[in-house]
Chains A and B, each alone.
Chain A
């Protein structure tokens, strides 16, 4: 039995007001593999406005990065295919835009940083050269001016002694400093949207605090919209305005960060929040979501979360839950969201 594909349309808030700065609308991404078609993204919709931080949460394999890669246009097609959906920037769909126009947007007005800064940087070029490349290639700047701009940017992301380090190679920097270099490259052309895919996952908490602080400052300076992909519920609580929780290639819940944490409306979100160790429950078993994340090649019927769900009822096994409207700012893809909501958080 195959699940019918589910279309989730724009979030109600967006339909009512102006077009958001960036809107992903009913996006589908699939991969052709030897084992069959992997439907990695199954009707994802989210949006972000200037100055706003959207956190995209979810277990590994839930489709967070693939969605981001589709926005950036960095998916290899094939094997990837986008059968359906839109990615609108200022109201215009990037997916159907002419290549030249798209090239003006991606990498410039929408930029991205990755978890693994070391492999994203080229080991044989100096960091100054790599940051300067943004200006040489996109703006035809001279080598000298580009190098000067690189130093400015390294200062801006607070790399100590930028002037003397501009000609160093990536391996001469610590993990935190390399992430700053990635950020410098991403903000070089003053993007309106920055997508940060697990930017601090590989870093120590002390360095994580520095990087998150830096991103917040940069965001404030330039009113960037920030899409923060992470599985760290602490980081999300700290910086996000709103959250989108992904499971098995779908958004299962979206809400303001305060609403979502106070009283989740989807059992998966609730389970994630409850598995965080708490001081007052020391010595007791941690709450654990049972079972394992779904296999995209063999998705459960009905609600993809049903094999792990404590709220499951009979129809969950057969009926795919649509994204129900919980309020004008939140939605949940659970037939029994009312019950979940009433139970509150922990």
Chain B
């Protein structure tokens, strides 16, 4: 674990509701998709916070809110103490420099008509003060070198690179403005196992070298465990459990975390007959109409009356030393949580 450092990112009660409209000609709002519904956490310098949860639970929306690519319905995102959600103009531009993103799909996230040099150097066009025009080409070549690409390939186009190399291009671009925070939204999900390991190692090396803080969103729980200091488990727009890797993986206290971990197949056939598995039924409910009380109650095997009436807060409880949003939080040994 990293030594406690000051928080670089403070997220408080963050909410994003997308209006749900009805009617083709006369649109009226009939409800809202509660994509992010009250999320709070801190991220410290040089730390990695993993974010896991089923698709549709709000991970990418959260990422966009942190980047100020979406405006929140309410709540705040402070970077080094300044709220990016209320920043405008030159101040917003300056703050954005400090928080960059690496996206999942290395095939569609790079403009096919631009050379690698233009792609990696594009942030300098917007923030021309970072690298003077004359020194840009050299700076881009340095960045390519840092991520393990051949600097001589600066004039090539994205299609001339493999998936793993394209992801490196995306990372080089993310590093261009020397940010303190990088948000990785499923950065290795589209890559083959062997290439995935190369990119993960690169991300870790860069973190050490530049003291970067990462928000690492992924659906592969073993990958998240490997890279994260702490992990936030999301369900229907909320964080339901938050802890360090041992707390989340070895003694999860929220039933959803327990189910999620037990669904992950263990890459070892030995003893597979005796493995216990919690199989959740059905799909998560729609974020347009989440259940009352605890959002997870419609799939929870421990649900009681109180779960429909009262929303459980994300906090430490008698059964859980780390924050867990379950009235009946209690550690349970999940055999599969390797």
Contact = CB atoms under 8 A, between A and B. Distances in A.
Interface string A232-274: 1111111010000000000000000110011000000001110
B265 A237 contact: yes
B61 to A, nearest CB: 17
Contacts of B269: 237-238, 240, 257-258, 261
A276 B272 contact: no
B222 A277 contact: yes
B225 interface: yes
B338 A275 contact: no
A263 B251 CA distance: 31
B226 A286 contact: yes
Nearest to B277: A209
A231 B163 CA distance: 16
Contacts of B305: none
Interface string B12-50: 000000000000000000000000000000000000000
Interface string A273-298: 10111110010011111101100000
Interface string B195-223: 11110110010000000000000010111
Nearest to B204: A285
Interface in B132-188: 162, 164-165
A35 interface: no
A287 B196 CA distance: 10
Interface string A121-132: 000000000000
B69 interface: no
A288 B263 contact: no
Contacts of A262: 270
Given A204-B54, A279-B249, A279-B338, A288 B197 contact: yes
Contacts of A139: none
Interface stretch (B71-79, B116-124, B279-287, B309-317): B279-287
Contacts of B233: none
A235 B195 CA distance: 19
Contact of A261 (B165, B223, B268, B338): B268
Contacts of B282: 160
B114 interface: no
Interface string A150-178: 00000000001000000000000011110
Given A60-B192, A206-B279, 18 more contacts: A59-B192, A205-B263, A205-B264, A206-B54, A209-B280, A238-B265, A261-B268, A262-B270, A271-B194, A273-B267, A277-B226, A278-B338, A285-B201, A285-B204, A286-B200, A288-B201, A290-B198, A293-B192
19 contacts: A174-B283, A205-B260, A205-B263, A208-B265, A234-B266, A234-B267, A236-B267, A237-B269, A258-B270, A272-B193, A275-B197, A277-B225, A279-B338, A285-B204, A288-B198, A289-B194, A289-B197, A292-B164, A292-B195
Interface of B: 54-55, 162, 164-165, 192-198, 200-201, 204, 219, 221-223, 225-226, 245, 249, 259-260, 263-270, 272, 277, 279-283, 338
Question: What 5 A-B pairs come out closest when comparing CB atoms?
Answer: A234-B265, A277-B226, A288-B197, A289-B194, A275-B197
